[in-house]
Each structure stands twice: as structure tokens, then as C-alpha cells.
């Protein structure tokens, strides 16, 4: 597969650090001058723009938290005048006030450039038909991928989310070759195709899938590739930092290449906020060094991963991040044990006794937390009336308990009883926080 912009994607690290340092200094000066909230935070930490001379000084700057964006809602965190802001995106606001993101025309062009790199790393080119099943609107996914696909000259099919059977018909009729959506929705598409009597390997032209917006495991990757016959690649981004395209896997599937000419990444201990040694797993922190409207400094993502700085087989020299294992604020603590939904997912797919749909239900009896893992039966299991339902539940439970060191209850439920969505899957129901 080719590389879209080798000048930056294959830049030597010494040269890259010089570029990052130059862009960082400019960005710090700009936010200090134009964003009162940042100026107050920097003064409180005793740092001025002149103290930042290179990437090595990044640690002197204060962290940015999602709450900072909520405290300055909607536009007071912008570093560019509103007359220069050509687009607004925002988070769903399901966990609090929406976080609002602005883009100048240059920001939009840079974003399209990053998505172009991502698409090319998945094998896309001018002859590709890019099927965008991410939602359009305030969510960054749909429009982000759309502009990048247009930049490489591909044909965009802007289906947006939902109406699954229609999605599949369009894939057949329009000749979609690149699918972009959440990984959980990709599995739902595959499931629906089977019900419609469609074999994606025989009846569709799909070659690759770019799946993001939620953590997913290598076990789920194998499941998607097996069912759909595509190269399944992970894409990463956050609306606050840019949207999708902050990093992306190449065909070697050995970590997501971070667009380091636009973002500086750090890995910290989520509790102590100390910077961790290279190769350690921790919380990702991003600094935007090219954004005009909303350049975030040391933004705490809450996403847990690790970074690899070795050159990739594909020729790209950018740092690579592992798959996100979970979010520090999504991590469940059950009887003193840290649990990420992705850990359960890996066990379920490895055991192979159920469909890849599950929910974790956490409750409390008295002072004792308990975990129930609800797992869908496959249609084959259900049609057999599950002679060994207890044995299957026991095997899954034993594997989860072995992997996590935590006792739990496993309950096999009927096919289709766990909700499907075209967006992010709802993996956890924590009854401890209800009522």
C-alpha cells in the first residue's frame, strides 16, 4: 500500500522534534494571548510562553481537562475569532454539558489531510468507493471521513448511520469498497447480511474497513475479518482534539500511526499525572500544535494505551499507539479489581461459545459489589435449545474469572436481546450509580 504524504509520515525523528518544537512554541504563545482561561491556568502554574522553547518543556504546561471546555461553554476556549470559525462540532453531552469544538477553514483542510493519510493506509485511492456509515451532524465521524475521502479523489457514499438493510443494499448496488463505521456496527451489518442471505465475500466488493469511535479488541478484529472478508483497521480520534484521524493503523496492524506533525503525545499515570517511561501503558495526553480554533494543550483523553517509537515495516516513522484498552473513566472497580469491558470481550471471543454481543451489569448487595455478564447465544446455540447451557455458562465464567481474578455470574440470553446501535455499543450498566 502507498503512503499519502511521505514528507511528514516518514520524517526522521530529529527533524520531527524540531518541527514539533517550533509549532508548540507558536501554539503556546497564541493560546496565552487569546484564551483567558489558558492564561489564568499558566499563570497559576508559574509558566509563561517564553519558558517553552522545545518539546522538552512540554511538562511545564498545565493539563487541560474536559471540564475546562464545559466551564468555558460554548466558545470561550476558542483561540480564533468567531468570524474565522467555519464549522462547529460537539459531543453528545450524555455525561454532562456538551464540549464544543470549532474549526477554521485551515483546520478543516488539515483534518481532511489527516483522513486522507488514514484512507490511503487502508488501501483507498481515486478508484475507491468510501461508504461512510458514521453519523453526520454534530458528531465528528461522518463529515471527518467524508472530506478526507474527497481529498484523495475517492467516491464518497454518505449514507450516515442507521437503516441497516438499506446500508447493505447500497453497498451491493453502489459497489462500496471501503466501509467506515464503529466496529460493533460492522458486526451487526455482518449479522444482518447473513439473515438477508448475503455473503459479503461473494456479493460485495468490500476490501477494507476503517473502524473506530469505541475501543475494540484484536479478537473482535478477527471476528469482523472472518465474517466480512475485509482488512479491519483501527482509527482513533477525539472530537476535542480533532475528530477521527489523530492516528490510524496501516496494513501491518501493529499499532496506530500518530500524526505527530499535528499532535504531540504523552503517556501519564492517570492517578499521579506523572509522565511514564516509554513503552508503559497509561493515559494518553495530546497537545494540538496546528489547530487554529481550538488548540488544546496537554489534553487528558482518559484513554488507556501505550506508545511504540520504532519504525514500522510500512516505512512510516511516526510513533504508534496500541489499541485503546479502555478509558480510565470507563474502568469499573469491582471488589478492588480493575475491569475494562475489552477484557471481557477478549475472553468471550476466545472461548467462542457465544455471539459477540454482551453487557456487563454491575450491582451491589449490601456493601458487596457483584458482576453479571450477559452474553447472547448464537442462533445455532439457541436452536439447539442449549442442552449444555449450564456447561457453557460455567466455561465462560471460569475463563473470565481466570483472566480477571474476579468472581462473576454469566447468563446466556436469547439472540438479538442485547440492543444493537449504529453508533457506540452500550457495554456497561452500572446499577451502583442509579437511584
- From 328, 346, 369, the end of a domain falls on 328
What pLDDT score does 390 carry?
A: 82
- From 328, 351, 382, the end of a domain falls on 328
User: pLDDT by residue (tens digit) across 2-29?
Assistant: 999 999 999 999 999 999 999 999 999 9
Stretch 227-240: mean pLDDT: 96
Model confidence at 93, in pLDDT bands (50, 70, 90)?
Answer: low
Query: Which is more confidently placed, 327 or 334?
Result: 334
What radius of gyration, in Å, describes the C-alpha atoms of the chain? 22
Cα gap 341→373, rounded to integer Å: 10
Query: C-alpha cell of 376?
Result: 447472547
User: pLDDT by residue (tens digit) across 273-325?
Assistant: 999 999 999 999 999 999 999 999 999 999 999 999 999 999 999 999 999 98
Q: What is the DSSP letter of 205?
A: -
What pLDDT score does 352 carry?
A: 82
The count of structural domains within the chain is 2
Percent residues over pLDDT 90 in the chain: 75
The answer on 338 and 320 residing in a single domain is no
pLDDT at position 367 over 80:
no
pLDDT at position 94 over 80:
no
Write down the pTM of the prediction.
0.85
Model confidence at 387, in pLDDT bands (50, 70, 90)?
Answer: low
pLDDT at position 246 over 60:
yes
The answer on 320 and 199 residing in a single domain is yes
- From 328, 351, 385, the end of a domain falls on 328
The answer on 247 and 348 residing in a single domain is no
User: pLDDT by residue (tens digit) across 113-171?
Assistant: 999 999 999 999 999 999 999 999 999 999 999 999 999 999 999 999 889 999 999 99
pLDDT at position 206 over 90:
yes
The answer on 247 and 107 residing in a single domain is yes
The answer on 321 and 365 residing in a single domain is no
The answer on 195 and 113 residing in a single domain is yes
The answer on 157 and 44 residing in a single domain is yes
* CA torsion through residues 223, 224, 226, 227, sign: positive
The answer on 278 and 185 residing in a single domain is yes
The answer on 302 and 252 residing in a single domain is yes
Structural domain span for residue 257 = 1-328
The answer on 210 and 225 residing in a single domain is yes
The answer on 301 and 338 residing in a single domain is no
Which CATH number covers residue 374?
Answer: 3.30.300.30
The answer on 214 and 69 residing in a single domain is yes
What pLDDT score does 350 carry?
A: 85
Phi-psi region of 175 (alpha: psi -120 to 50; beta: other; left: phi over 0): left
pLDDT at position 423 over 90:
no
What pLDDT score does 299 carry?
A: 98
Which CATH number covers residue 88?
Answer: 3.40.50.12780
Model confidence at 92, in pLDDT bands (50, 70, 90)?
Answer: confident
What pLDDT score does 211 carry?
A: 97
The CA–CA distances, whole Å, from 428 to 122, 183, 258, 332, 374 equal: 31, 17, 29, 9, 10
pLDDT at position 1 over 80:
no
Query: C-alpha cell of 250?
Result: 496501516
Amino acid at each position: 500500500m502507498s503512503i499519502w504524504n511521505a514528507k511528514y509520515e516518514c520524517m526522521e525523528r530529529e527533524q520531527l522534534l524540531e518541527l514539533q518544537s517550533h509549532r508548540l512554541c507558536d501554539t503556546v504563545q497564541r493560546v496565552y494571548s487569546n484564551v483567558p482561561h489558558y492564561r489564568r491556568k499558566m499563570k497559576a502554574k508559574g509558566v509563561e510562553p517564553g519558558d517553552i522553547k522545545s518539546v522538552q518543556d512540554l511538562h511545564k504546561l498545565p493539563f487541560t481537562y474536559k471540564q475546562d471546555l464545559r466551564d468555558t461553554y460554548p466558545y470561550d476556549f476558542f483561540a480564533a475569532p468567531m468570524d474565522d470559525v467555519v464549522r462547529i462540532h460537539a459531543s453528545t453531552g450524555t455525561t454532562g454539558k456538551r464540549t464544543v469544538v470549532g474549526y477554521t477553514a485551515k483546520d478543516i483542510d488539515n483534518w481532511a489531510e489527516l483522513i486522507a493519510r488514514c484512507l490511503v493506509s487502508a488501501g483507498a485511492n481515486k478508484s475507491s468507493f468510501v461508504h461512510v456509515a458514521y453519523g453526520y451532524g454534530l458528531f465528528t465521524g461522518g463529515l471527518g471521513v467524508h472530506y478526507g475521502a474527497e481529498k484523495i479523489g475517492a467516491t464518497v457514499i454518505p449514507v450516515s448511520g442507521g437503516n441497516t438493510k438499506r446500508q447493505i443494499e447500497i453497498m451491493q448496488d453502489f459497489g462500496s469498497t471501503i466501509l467506515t463505521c464503529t466496529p460493533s456496527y460492522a458486526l451487526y451489518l455482518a449479522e444482518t447480511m447473513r439473515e438477508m442471505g448475503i455473503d459479503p465475500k461473494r456479493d460485495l466488493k468490500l476490501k477494507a474497513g476503517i473502524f473506530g469511535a469505541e475501543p475494540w479488541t484484536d479478537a473482535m478484529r478477527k471476528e469482523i475479518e472472518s465474517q466480512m472478508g475485509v482488512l479491519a483497521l483501527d482509527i482513533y480520534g477525539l472530537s476535542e482534539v480533532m475528530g477521527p484521524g489523530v492516528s490510524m493503523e496501516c496494513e501491518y496492524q501493529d499499532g496506530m500511526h500518530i500524526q505527530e506533525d499535528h499532535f504531540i503525545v504523552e503517556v501519564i499515570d492517570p492517578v499521579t499525572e506523572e509522565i511514564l517511561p516509554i513503552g508503559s501503558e497509561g493515559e494518553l495526553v495530546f497537545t494540538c500544535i496546528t489547530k487554529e480554533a481550538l488548540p488544546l494543550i496537554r489534553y487528558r483523553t482518559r484513554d488507556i494505551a501505550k506508545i511504540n517509537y520504532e519504525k514500522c515495516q510500512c516505512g512510516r516513522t511516526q510513533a504508534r499507539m496500541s489499541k485503546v484498552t479502555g478509558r480510565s473513566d470507563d474502568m469499573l472497580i469491582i471488589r478492588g479489581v480493575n475491569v475494562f469491558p475489552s477484557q471481557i470481550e477478549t475472553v468471550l471471543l476466545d472461548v467462542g461459545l457465544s455471539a459477540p454481543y454482551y453487557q456487563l451489569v454491575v450491582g451491589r448487595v449490601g456493601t458487596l459489589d457483584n458482576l453479571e455478564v450477559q452474553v447472547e447465544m448464537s442462533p445455532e446455540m439457541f436452536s439447539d435449545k442449549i442442552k449444555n447451557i449450564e456447561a457453557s455458562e460455567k466455561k465462560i465464567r471460569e475463563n473470565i474469572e481466570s483472566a480477571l481474578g474476579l468472581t462473576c455470574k454469566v447468563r446466556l440470553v436469547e439472540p438479538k436481546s442485547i440492543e444493537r446501535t449504529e453508533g457506540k455499543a452500550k457495554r456497561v450498566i452500572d446499577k451502583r450509580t442509579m437511584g
